[in-house]
Structure 1
Amino acid sequence: MDKIFKRTLVGAAVAFASAGVMAKQVGVNSDFDVDVYGVAAISVVNYDSDVTNIDKTSDNYNKVTNKSSGYDYENESRIGFRASKQMFEDVNVLMQIESGYVGENGDGATLGNRDTFIGLDGSWGKVRFGRMLTPMYEIIDWPYANPGLGAAWDWGGDVKFNRDRHGDMARYDSVDYDGFRFALATGRGDKDVEDNYFYGASATYKAADFITFHAAVESESDRELKAKSDAEYCQKAAGCTVDGVLIGHGLETKAAAAATMVDTFGYLVGFEASLPGGFGLAAAYKYGESEDLAAGGKTSEQASYSIIGQYWNGPWGFKVGYAANEESKTGSVKNNDEDSIISGQIMYVHEGFVPYVRIAQRDIKGGGEQNETFVVRVGLEYGF
């Protein structure tokens, strides 16, 4: 028994020593500067919606309103890792990998979901390769989307003309030239679509301590908005019913459709200003168009704008914002799809914690529906 006990101790010691060697090997590059960062953020939000279905087959719209409401916990917590090390004089290697939001059940929280790249930087600027925000979307998202304007301003538009966070990208960011900075990016929109490339640029100029101007532009060639579909056929030997009509075996029920391919272009201009007495103002205008390559060059276009005011008194902050998508047009035809959001937020900053309360009224049109939603959100954020 004593021999068995001694062998067990020896085995445990060997295993422990081996684990130490493994740990040392894993940490062989520990001279890298490594930073762990993240955000702990959760909120409870209640949506009170009136959805109006509009039947346009008659002169008088048949409006049927469905009411729905309910609350949800939204978990936007995330974590990331950064590392850097000097490779040559004035050339540092840098990398980053960041998880997505936890969400409902963690599906989107995988590492690499948000900005994840490897690159180089120095006194000449910074170049990165991988998954990042495009230069234009970086400005769209901040400072012009907070508080709670994203459902219209960020991604609610009906004409798709820009990317947001995207992989297969090369991006260069300049150093600061007396208040002026710029960024350039290019990459594949969809690696499986031939000749699908996007190009983007942004510029920021801090003209004085109290005002900063922003501008951005983005274009893309051969973007696939809708994939092609094959024809569908009735498969039952005795015939089958499609839309209430009995058809015979082997007859086509849905015709094949070619992919919808477009060329896109968009731009943004805006400013943010710090005003006396703790007040601040930010506003931006963006415009985009999408040219259907298979429909004789027919172009869809839409303009949007965002206006945000804020006031700070010590640790207390107040924000109010309004964002709207104007009615889009395809050719000369208006599409009855304008959207708008008005939102207000009160927040308090203490020891890095930011509890807040936000209310918003959303009026979102499109797809034969008008969705009017009153939103109340109570949340807490802490960055580390």
Structure 2
Amino acid sequence: MTRGLGRDGGSATPRSADVARLAGVSQKTVSRVLNNEPYVSAEVRERVLAAADQLGYRLNQAARALASGRSRSIGVVSLGTAWYGPASLLVGVERAVRDAGYALRVVNTVEGDPAGVSGAIQLLIEQGVDGIVISEPIDEGAGTVRVGVPVLVLGAPSAFVAPQVVSVGVAAEQLARAATEHLLDLGHSTVHHLAGVQRWYAARDRLNGWRTALRARGRAEPPIIAGDWTAASGYAAGRALASGSDVTAVFAANDDMAIGLIRALLEAGRRVPDDVSVVGFDDIPLAAFVTPPLTTVRQPFDVAAREGVKLLVQAIEKPDADPSTAVDPPVELIIRASTAPPR
């Protein structure tokens, strides 16, 4: 029986032995490289990957799963929402899981369902996942949840009992503090805060970061303005704040609310940043193109997802090893034209 030809004129279904022969290494070394195992030099790793690419070789995930006794899949529990933050974090997790050689299974929860997280976890466990990522941004008061596989918790307090629990955040509190400090450094006597929905862990972190920055400088803490993440709630807040001549700086808990806030201020005759400086949070794609371009802080979604998934995979593949700790993501302040010193 004759087999077809691959990229280099060889078999259309190359084997690891073919890769080993072309790279001049053993099949064990090929296995180590393709399974991302240590103790392989960078030069050998590059040679093996080049040979695999030349032959069109792809690791047989089904055989790999059978040999390891694992499904080679990771489950994600995520709020079913199109909001920029949760959606961006989910995209980052998907990329990181795929790059780690695992399949991804996603179960969305519905806001307001206290049993949503535990039910989603149970569904994923029934599907045989090797680990679970919790990317659930809302406190539903569900209490402690027991899980039989390693768990990665992104940006929320850990309320899980599992073989290993890894927590990785996006430094929201530090980012909020940096945003507030930027306005104080410009010379504003204090900073008003347009807060997000307080059932969201992210909104609490941003509120805490704002409050910490003010208290560290001994500045007055104005009453919090409640928003709901939408530009409409930012617009309503802007209309209320426009009449306050003492309002010279506002930190909004997301960019959508900041954009609505700016619109209301401009309509009321309060110029941004001449009369009021505004800082947002997230650095959504639109932030650079509004008038004026919005100063904001950028959340490191890709860094958090990549670091978190790396630690989760370590917990899955090396359950007896000491747990690793996450590296704090960078704080990135994007300064644009919506902030300036007070007049």
Asked whether the two chains share a fold, i.e. TM above 0.5, the reply is no
Greater fraction helix? 2
Q: Could you tell me the TM-score, scaled by structure 1's length?
A: 0.21
